[in-house]
Amino acid sequence: MASSSAGFVAGLTAAAVATVGFLGWQASATAPAALGSAKPTVPPAVSASKAARDGDDPTKLPGGTGTGPRVVYALDDDRVWLVDQGEKVVRTFRVEPGTVDPVPGVYLVSSRSNAITGTDGVPVEHVVRFASVNGVVIGFSAEAGAAAQPADDGVKTGGIRETREDGDAMWRFATIGQRVVVIR
């Protein structure tokens, strides 16, 4: 009798999971395209256009990125600046962007994961997420090891890769709610 009941419960569970999966798919297929894609909030003090650069020193923080503690990410330069409360750049470094870029603007760190596998099959650590574009999550991360499987060239990725040392610094600096300013 016990094995019969277990089989019945397993069947009900499988049916429930399938139903929830179908309803989730149906809801996502009929949802408006704009729903779920993060929109940056751009205060007047921050320019979302190409920020002024110092031609003599590409590591110098561009102007027009706001004030206070923040992560500044320059799409055109593939560079990040970590800026503290006193407006001092505590670290700057180059990054390797994914295939999908966030829209220039101001975001907040929305979630973090210590270690996961990226959409490209590469184990990553110190993941700091701040945006989503058409269902692709955008965030900073550092490779933690070799790819578990070859990446599909057609996969859209939002992982902005850092070295492990830079990833450690980002992890300590960019906690939940930290501002991320994305500029051209």
Q: What is the pLDDT of residues 96-145, one digit of tens each?
A: 999 999 999 999 999 999 999 988 888 999 999 999 999 999 999 999 97
Residue 157 resides in a domain: yes
Regarding whether 164 and 98 lie in a shared domain, the answer is: yes
Residue 7 resides in a domain: yes
What percent of the chain has pLDDT above 90?
59
Regarding whether 79 and 11 lie in a shared domain, the answer is: no
Buried residues in 36-67 as b, exposed as e (16+ CB within 10 A): eebebebeeebbbeebebeeeeeeebbeebbe
Regarding whether 177 and 113 lie in a shared domain, the answer is: yes
CA distances to 6, 56, 111, 138 from 121, in Å:
36, 38, 20, 16
At 162, which CATH number? 2.40.440.10
What's the pLDDT score for residue 139? Answer: 98
Name the residue range of residue 3's domain: 1-31
Regarding whether 161 and 95 lie in a shared domain, the answer is: yes
Regarding whether 146 and 81 lie in a shared domain, the answer is: yes
Backbone angles phi, psi at 37, to 5 degrees: -90, 120
Backbone angles phi, psi at 128, to 5 degrees: -120, 105
Residue 54 resides in a domain: no
Regarding whether 131 and 77 lie in a shared domain, the answer is: yes
Residue 83 resides in a domain: yes
What's the pLDDT score for residue 28? Answer: 39
Regarding whether 79 and 16 lie in a shared domain, the answer is: no
Report how many domains make up the chain: 2
